[in-house]
Amino acid sequence: MRLNHLSISLRLTLLFSSIFLLGWVGFGAAMWLGLQHSLTQERHQTLARRLDRLQELLLNSQNEPSSSRIQDFRDFAHATGNGLNEVFRPDGSRYYPSPSNAAKSFSWPHVDTRDGESFLLVNSAGQSYRVMERPAQIGTDKVCLMVAAPTAANQLILDGFASGLWASAPLLLLISSLGGYWLSRRALRPVDHITATARSISIRNLSERLPHGGSADELQRLSETFNDMLARLESAVGQIRQFTADASHELRGPLSFVRTVAEVALRNPQIDAESKESFQEIVDEVARAAVLLEDMLTLARADARSGDAILEAMDVGQLLRSACDHALPLSEERGLRLTTTIPTDAPLLVAADEKALRRLFWILLDNAIKYTPAPGEIAVTLTAGNDSLLVGVSDTGVGIPSEALPFVFDRFYRSDPSRSQSEGSGLGLAIAKWIAELHGGVLSISSQLNQGTRVQLQLPSLQAHAMHTNAPPGRGGDSSHLLLK
């Protein structure tokens, strides 16, 4: 797993834990080496003091009888170091008999009276010992004094210290990881707020800005940079919207004039057939251009939020039946069968703008008729849920490729060249989606190529819409006004 696939919080936690672990290992190693050095120095001082006392003993008893000196040496050896004391001549022979069997069988190092005091590590009988040797002078005799002590006690302390370090490492690592994750989440919490706000900003609410807490840190600079970018985008999009609205509005007059002139020319009885055909084409093209301009103006108003509607309580079933009645002649003319399943036992009320909702239903029916070859079938259904109403328009038409489904509500989008041959501006579904959102609804589409398409509109019931519009600001309210009649 690559680290760049993890969240920043987890990556910071892993980095913090790794640094802590490395620091803990370095700290433990340094402490272990320091403890080892201290124990070694302590052993060195202990053996040095023993050599001092042994050398003093030998010097003080050098005039005593041999048996007395040997006994004094043996008593000293048994009193210190468990008998691990020896006095050697330069040739390696013992100056005094070994004070104990342990000293006799011990692996003493090579005697070298020419060197100064030595501190050696020796293994004997599978155990480790520290040995200190020191050249000395007893009367006229040169000797080498040696004392030894086991390192097992020191090693036990070192092993216990290392075990304690390793045993505490997992717990400390866990604590540091949890602490690091908590700190990283706390430090990056403003990023979550920025992300949530950025996701909520779309082309229709570019006036919103990312939050920043005035902390003068990197996150505030990032928020300010994004806000500056949003301001530039808002200005640019506003200019585009204004241009679209102005152009659509201003072109209405010239198109109306051209259409009027062409229609007057068509009524001239002396016009020849070729000219009549040309003027008829002009009338048809101007009519299509007028529809396109009207659609563009509608979307421009929607983008500018000038299309807020006064929603009234209406029977969606009645509106849907009326739209189907108008679509029935066109479907029969195209050789299509239009069926409806709309309840009539009780009104199904929604908060609606009648003109806008009629237009939405007509867009859905018109698309189904245009893209369903004969003989085909179009089915319109209306069902009631707990707090919503579902309007479905299904056809047996050409369908939409799966890769095109995410883009069908985009403006001027056509999934394939064959669909562009049909009449239409390519803005119908974009307008339908806007009308659905104006009513607090959701418009969705599913399709299979060459098998058909189903468009579903989910509208909140009148009670659900009233609760939605009465919600506090920032918690689901919309800009539409509800007027109950």
Domains and CATH numbers, the chain: 3-157 (3.30.450), 218-303 (1.10.287.130), 310-483 (3.30.565.10)
DSSP lists the bridge partners of residue 379 as 339, 394
287/298 Cα distance (integer angstroms): 17
pLDDT value, residue 296: 67
Least trusted range by pLDDT, from 152-156, 434-438, 453-457, 473-477:
473-477
pLDDT value, residue 210: 77
The answer to whether 391 touches 316, Cβ cutoff 8 Å, is yes
Q: State the pLDDT confidence band at 484, using cuts at 50, 70 and 90.
A: very low
| pLDDT tens sequence across 153-169 | 888 999 998 898 888 88
The answer to whether 337 touches 377, Cβ cutoff 8 Å, is yes
pLDDT value, residue 453: 93
Contacts of 395 (CB under 8 A, 6+ apart): 368, 371, 372, 376, 377, 378, 379, 452, 453, 454
| pLDDT tens sequence across 89-134 | 988 899 999 998 889 999 999 887 776 888 999 999 889 999 999 9
Note if the bond before 375 is cis, omega within 30 degrees: yes
